[in-house]
């Protein structure tokens, strides 16, 4: 069965960077775009961007351009989302989700930004 | 960036019918926006109910349906159950590069 397993909780200081991983299994990793979404505490969902694991092409939401980098390692079927210059309002749960029906989501990774 | 609008909250009686809507600041929502609907319960990851306007996943209860209604995307719940109490988010695609935008979510109460 399709599974997306994300890396664990992160605590970062303002100004630092965080890199969240999303390991895919149960399907052909390069066959589906991977999206990243975040949700701040008590807030709604926010789309951050996608990566095409086959080509490495990316498309980022305007809000995150310049601060987010999405990459992948096809040898281990893993997608990554790195967010830099962290601020306190980047505190959120970060999700990966597989495109085409969005039938599979990762379990979420809590990133806390605090001094 | 476009703004996607949803009702902040709705209440439905058990067994009743309710329609949640999803509008776009750029004009009418069409099938070309590939509307999605997600359900999220407290402490859980979102779950996709509807994709591409009206398509269901195998786990989508039959009482949920998606459509276009009056220039908006719509999610209709017919025969509400207590377990349907949740937040519902719509999600639209814009432009050829397909950037996506979430609505602010609708908190649905079954009471």
For residues B3-15, average pLDDT: 97
Give the A:B interface size as CB pairs under 8 Å.
54
The predicted structure's pLDDT at residue A100: 84
Cα dihedral: B13, B15, B17, B19 (round 10): 70
> Which chain B residues touch A51 with a CB distance below 8 Å?
none
CA distance A30 to A53: 5
Instruction: Provide the pairing of β-strand A18-25 with A3-6.
Output: antiparallel
User: By the 8 A CB rule, do A16 and A82 touch?
Assistant: no
Mean pLDDT by 10 residues, chain A (115 residues): 96 98 97 97 96 96 94 98 97 96 94 97
Residues in chain B, overall count: 111
The answer to whether the Cβ–Cβ distance between A95 and B97 falls below 8 Å is: no
**pLDDT tier at B97 (50, 70, 90 boundaries)?**
low
Tokens of A78: 């893993």
The secondary structure of residue A89, as a DSSP letter, is G
> Which chain B residues touch A47 with a CB distance below 8 Å?
91, 99-102
Residues in chain A, overall count: 115
Burial of A21 (0-12, 13-18, 19+ CB in 10 A): buried
**pLDDT tier at B1 (50, 70, 90 boundaries)?**
confident
Residue-wise pLDDT tens digits, B48-94: 999 999 999 999 999 999 999 999 999 999 999 999 999 999 999 98
Residue-wise pLDDT tens digits, B15-58: 999 999 999 999 999 999 999 999 999 999 999 999 999 999 99
The predicted structure's pLDDT at residue B54: 97
Tokens of B47: 């779950």
Mutate to test the interface with A, among B36, B45, B105 (most CBs of A within 10 A): B45
Tokens of A53: 């694991």
The predicted structure's pLDDT at residue B99: 85
CA distance A23 to A46: 21
CA distance A41 to A89: 10
Helix, strand counts (H, E) of chain A: 0, 10
The predicted structure's pLDDT at residue B98: 63
The predicted structure's pLDDT at residue A97: 97
Closest C-alpha to B80, from B22, B19, B25: B19
Instruction: Provide the pairing of β-strand A34-39 with A18-25.
Output: unpaired
């Amino acid at each position: 069965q399709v599974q997306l397993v994300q890396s664990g909780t992160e605590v970062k200081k303002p100004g630092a960077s965080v890199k969240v991983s999303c390991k895919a299994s149960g399907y052909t990793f390069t066959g589906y775009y991977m999206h990243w979404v975040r949700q701040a505490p008590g807030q709604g969902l926010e789309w951050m961007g996608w990566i095409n694991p086959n080509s490495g092409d990316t498309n980022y939401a305007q809000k995150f351009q310049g601060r987010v980098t999405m990459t992948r390692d096809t040898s281990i079927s893993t997608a990554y989302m790195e967010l830099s210059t962290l601020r306190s309002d980047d505190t959120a749960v970060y999700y990966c989700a597989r495109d085409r029906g969005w039938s599979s989501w990762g379990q979420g990774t809590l990133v806390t930004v605090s001094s | 960036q476009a703004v996607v609008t949803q009702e902040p909250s709705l209440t439905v009686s058990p067994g009743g019918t309710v329609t949640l809507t999803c509008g776009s600041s750029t004009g009418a929502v069409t099938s070309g926006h590939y509307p999605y609907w997600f359900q999220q319960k407290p402490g859980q990851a979102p779950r996709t109910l509807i994709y591409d306007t009206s398509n269901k996943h195998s786990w989508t209860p039959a009482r949920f349906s998606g459509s276009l209604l009056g220039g908006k995307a719509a999610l209709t719940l017919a025969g509400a159950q207590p377990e349907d109490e949740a937040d519902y988010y719509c999600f639209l695609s814009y432009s050829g590069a397909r950037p996506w935008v979430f609505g602010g979510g609708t908190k649905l109460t079954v009471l």
